[in-house]
Amino acid sequence: MTTGVILLLAAAPPAQAAEPSAAGLWQKIEDGKPAAWFLVVDHDGIFEGAVARTFPLPGEDPNEICSKCTDDRKNAPLLGISFIRDMKRDGLKYENGNVLDPRDGKIYKAKMSVSADGQSLTLRGYLGISLFGKDETWSRLPDTSIAQLDPAVVAKYLPTQAAAIKPPAAAVKPPAVAVKKSSAPVIAPAAAPAR
């Protein structure tokens, strides 16, 4: 009997590991240097991506806004802007979403895919059909890198983590007690008699 159970267990397919998700922090590299970090979050199966950190070049405005946007993102700061919206997951693929190009304010159809090892994410923005589009591939950053993000971005997109990493409230000092000055002269205690 025991041998039969062992054989059944041996013949059973191995448990499938969960597929990697697009949720997490990603880095875009240009010319061998970080160009931007993007945070992708899962809202009950609908994925959104935001600009989580920028690396402005000398002379570039670090507080750039999306002045050419025409929707709810009009004049929003690029840092923290939601630029990937409505991605629906199908395994390692994400489809039926859109991506904003903050340089010109245009919104394109988009899809994404995560590598089988979960370490790279490819975003494709396109007009009409996917054939007429462009890919960008980003690398996953460790979750510990979230500590390097602007607290406002973390609070907006990861409120649970933001609450967990909030600095403790400043210790409340007890009110200072005012010492009343007495008009009575201070009398020193008498010295003990010498023996």
Q: Is the pLDDT of residue 117 over 90?
A: yes
139 CB-side CA count, 13 A: 10
Of 165, 183, 104, 94, nearest to 130 (Cα)? 94
Confidence of residue 95 (pLDDT cuts 50, 70, 90): very high
Q: Is the pLDDT of residue 171 over 90?
A: no
Please state, rounded to an integer, the average pLDDT across all residues of the chain: 83
pLDDT value of residue 55: 95
- 3-state SS track over the chain: CHHHHHHHHHHCCCCCCCCCCCCEEEEEEECCEEEEEEEEEEECCEEEEEEEEECCCCCCCCCCECCCCCCCCCCCECCCCEEEEEEEEECCEEEEEEEEECCCCEEEEEEEEECCCCCEEEEEEECCCCCCEEEEEEEECCHHHHHHCCHHHHHHHCHHHHHHHCCCCCCCCCCCCCCCCCCCCCCCCCCCCCC
Give the predicted TM-score (pTM) of the model. 0.75
Compare 50 and 179 and report the one with higher pLDDT: 50
Neighbours of 40 (CB within 10 A): 25
Q: Is the pLDDT of residue 140 over 70?
A: yes
pLDDT value of residue 167: 54
How far apart CA 14 and CA 17 sit, in angstroms, is 9
For the segment 174-187, the average pLDDT, to the nearest whole number, is 46
Q: Is the pLDDT of residue 40 over 50?
A: yes
pLDDT value of residue 187: 43
Q: Is the pLDDT of residue 26 over 70?
A: yes
β-bridge pairing 46-54 and 93-101: unpaired
Least confident of 93-102, 145-154, 166-175: 166-175
For the segment 4-27, the average pLDDT, to the nearest whole number, is 64
For the segment 13-22, the average pLDDT, to the nearest whole number, is 70
How far apart CA 86 and CA 88 sit, in angstroms, is 6
For the segment 89-95, the average pLDDT, to the nearest whole number, is 97
Compare 162 and 152 and report the one with higher pLDDT: 152
Q: Is the pLDDT of residue 17 over 70?
A: no
Q: Is the pLDDT of residue 39 over 90?
A: yes
Is residue 88 a contact partner of residue 94, using CB atoms and an 8 Å limit?
yes
